[in-house]
Structure 1
Amino acid sequence: MKDLFTPYKMKGLELRNRIVLPPMCQYSVEKKDGIANEWHYMHYVSRAIGGVGLIIIEMTDVEPDGRISDYDLGLWCDEQIEPLKKIVDECHKYGAKVAIQIAHAGRKAEDAEIPVAPSPIQFDDKSKTPKELSTEEVKEIVDKFRLSVKRAIKAGFDAIEIHGAHGYLIHQFHSPLTNKRSDEYGKDLTKFGVDIIKAAKSEMPKDMPLIMRISAVEYVENGYGIETSIKLSKAYKEAGADIFHISAGGEGKIAAAGKPGTHAAYQVPYAKAIKEALNADVIAVGRLDEPELANAVIGNEEADLVAVGRAMFRNPYWPLEAAIKLNKKVDLPRQYELGFPRNILNK
């Protein structure tokens, strides 16, 4: 049976285990130039030392006004490549593979003077009314995704994730709530995402997998549910997506009391449903902090990979602690061997 520490392979991507650090914004760019700095280096490399299989670098945007805030990473210019390459190279030294999430925030770009969207609909009463993109401008953004992926390849990433979840621009295009267009990108709500996947694949090596992140349900009145997200995912798989990273929400708030998001593994059923409907590999995420629970998700074949986010904020060595609990052998930095039980040392 597969477990959390069973190696994983998809095309040319080979992982030492099935533990993923999901993309979580650090809001730590200092000069508003989108360039990764020492904080990003320390944050990601420490998780590589801690034993994670796949690190997905946080939401990295295709243009300055495509960021959630001015303090987010970007890949819209060549100057942003080398600092990311430094992170990737160092993570590789400690056995982790590294992907990057390429994105555009659309109407949720808080610091953009005039955010853009498929239709001029505010996110909420406190948000700016976005500018509706012309058809030509939509095609230009597709090409910006392509160029960002091209830069990511130069930086040495092992996989690419396209962000189609959490109410950001691709999600805005494939959601009936936010796409009221009459052009080709309104008649086919998946066209924007499909075009981006095809553009990304045109720059990627053939043995490099593309991960597509989607929100399986919207958690908002009249929002779409799992049936719609399965249809979306099928279109994205046909376009070239290899792995699906299944989250939820983004249009509307997930509240803290008595609403989705308050119980362990609350998004795993969505990952399982999409895995089964598409016969595709999926990453499950959402309150999977306990190693025994994360391990069960893999063992029960509900998902192929498990993303552990907030727990790895608290403990960069979560995978090593999980190995102790699950009695699994791992490779440890020799400097840390004295701190761990001998039975988990892969010797």
Structure 2
Amino acid sequence: MTPDLFSPLDMRDTTAPNRVMVSPMCQYSCEDRDGLPTDWHRVHLGSRAVGGAGIVMSEATAVEPRGRISPEDTGIWSDEHVEAWQPVTAFIAKEGSIPAIQLAHAGRKASKRRPWEGSTPVQPDSGGWETIGPSGNAWPYDGEAPPHRRMDHDDIETVIESFRTGAERALEAGFEIAEIHAAHGYLLHEFLSPATNDRTDEYGGSFEDRTRFLREVVSAVRDVWPDEKPVFVRISATDWIDDGESWTVEQSVRLARGLYEAGVDLIDVSSGGIAPASYPDEAGPNYQVPHAERIGDGTPEDLLVGAVGKITTPEQADGIVANGRADLAIVGREHLRDPYFTIRAADQLDALDRVDVPPQYDRAF
């Protein structure tokens, strides 16, 4: 039978009850700038599990302190973080969803204020820190950027090890899926894109060398993540820069093939973020779905693909899956507007018998 939005999704020995995933969305809400999730995170993520989403993914969670986007971002770099995340994952799992974590490093886009505070840089004397990246070029802020430097080989090895230990701690914290964040202009994407990677060593230049860092991170995570549990990678399929010197969909297809060989189970397909204006002027519904479809068509059949970007209606999400454009509908902002999007979708698509509506909410349906 053709899968639809409410078909289970098998990933190794993990089965999501449906094809809806809560996209990782930063909350910028750690209270003491210590990276520890709070009651906000437990309620925010837990309510989406109550709402029926098959997979509930955390925000970009830094594998080391300098990998945070803002000082208020979550982390997974200490045992204290493990303990803080455990009640969150336990509640998500209790409600029948799969708890997932996005392991991240912000690279040169780190150390800035929260969006509602202007997203301006935070200097070290105000609680910020030195940022790192493949080149010596800081993020092009209008004002003064935080201190920034080009990563040397020791830095690269340190970050790879941080992803490894972050994955180990995520497993101990109760997460069932690990996603590696290699999109949106953050550190791993900065190495992938010729627009930001001007290195001349084995981590820059050719496609093989620019993708080496990500491949080594994937290998480190896959080494410690159990064989029966899936690993995802989020990529920006294109930089949206038409200059012949940026990351393209063709390179994304080639990368996805290599990631499949390295043990990745799903490519989470987003786009843009490598530069301040690197998004299309007019981004309508499903604007990134063609990228997901192209990657799916160009890679082995059992490599799963997720589509994200302005998916707002049940019919739209169901159509993406039922028409074979992607295996997973990844829903972001609509989940902010409606934590119960999946139950509502089941109601509208006459599929309520295929979701577990909490008995406390039965009277609404």
Partner of 1:319: 342
Bigger shift: residues 193-202 or 226-235:
226-235
1:259 matched to 2:260? The reply is: no
Q: Is the 8 A contact 1:22 1:308 kept in 2?
A: yes
Unaligned runs of 5+ in 1: 341-347
* Residues 35/104 of structure 1: CA separation in 2 closer, same or farther (3 Å cut): same
- Distance in 2 of aligned mates of 1:130 and 1:70: 16
Match of 1:192, SS? helix
Match of 2:101, SS? strand
Q: Is the 8 A contact 1:190 1:232 kept in 2?
A: yes
What is the total number of aligned residue pairs between the two structures? 338
Structure 2 matches for 1:279-294, cutoff 5 A? 279=300, 280-294=303-317
Deviation at 1:129, TM superposition (A): 5.7
Partner of 2:25: 24
Could you list the structure 1 runs, at least 4 aligned residues long, displaced by more than 6 angstroms after superposition.
Answer: none
Partner of 1:211: 232
Deviation at 1:125, TM superposition (A): 3.8
Bigger shift: residues 237-246 or 64-73:
237-246
Q: Is the 8 A contact 1:107 1:116 kept in 2?
A: yes
Structure 2 matches for 1:56-205, cutoff 5 A? 56-110=57-111, 111=122, 112-126=128-142, 127-128=145-146, 130-187=148-205, 188-205=209-226
* Residues 217/260 of structure 1: CA separation in 2 closer, same or farther (3 Å cut): farther
- Which letter maps to 1:225? T
- Distance in 2 of aligned mates of 1:313 and 1:189: 35
- Distance in 2 of aligned mates of 1:139 and 1:93: 37
Which of 297, 300, 324 is the equivalent residue of 1:301?
Answer: 324
- Which letter maps to 2:161? D
Match of 1:282, SS? strand
After superposition, the C-alpha distances for 1:217-273 in whole angstroms (9 at most, x for unaligned) are 1123533221111122222222221110000001134589x7142x10000000000
Aligned Cα root-mean-square deviation (Å) = 1.4
- Which letter maps to 1:151? R
After superposition, the C-alpha distances for 1:278-303 in whole angstroms (9 at most, x for unaligned) are 12211100011011011000010000
After superposition, the C-alpha distances for 1:42-66 in whole angstroms (9 at most, x for unaligned) are 0011111110000111100011111
- Distance in 2 of aligned mates of 1:125 and 1:64: 21
The alignment's TM-score, normalised by the length of structure 2, stands at 0.90
Partner of 1:272: 293
Match of 2:32, SS? coil
Unaligned runs of 5+ in 2: 112-121, 123-127
